[in-house]
Amino acid sequence: MATHAQRTLSEATSGMEGQEVTIRGWVKTRRDHGKLIFLDIIDRSGIVQVVANAGASESAYNEAAALKPEYVVEITGKQRACRVT
């Protein structure tokens, strides 16, 4: 049986670039840009952006396309660094 530590979004993703992470929260917004879907996932501690890329995973893209605001989700994927310009 797998167990998961209870962590908030900001704790779960801070300093984990390149690693696989699992986040849990609510869909705040979904923005569809053709082959990319951007999801803003929130919990009591903050917000994390998830990107579903049809070229990287058609199944993940299709699942993201079906999500609506306020859906509760658990998402596993590779953490990538945020580039602020």
CATH of domain 22-78: 2.40.50.140
Cα(72)–Cα(69) distance, integer angstroms = 9
**What's the pLDDT at 25?**
94
**Model pTM?**
0.76
Judge whether 12 and 32 are in contact, CB under 8 Å.
no
pLDDT, averaged per 10 consecutive residues of the chain (85 residues), comes to 49 73 93 94 89 93 96 90 63
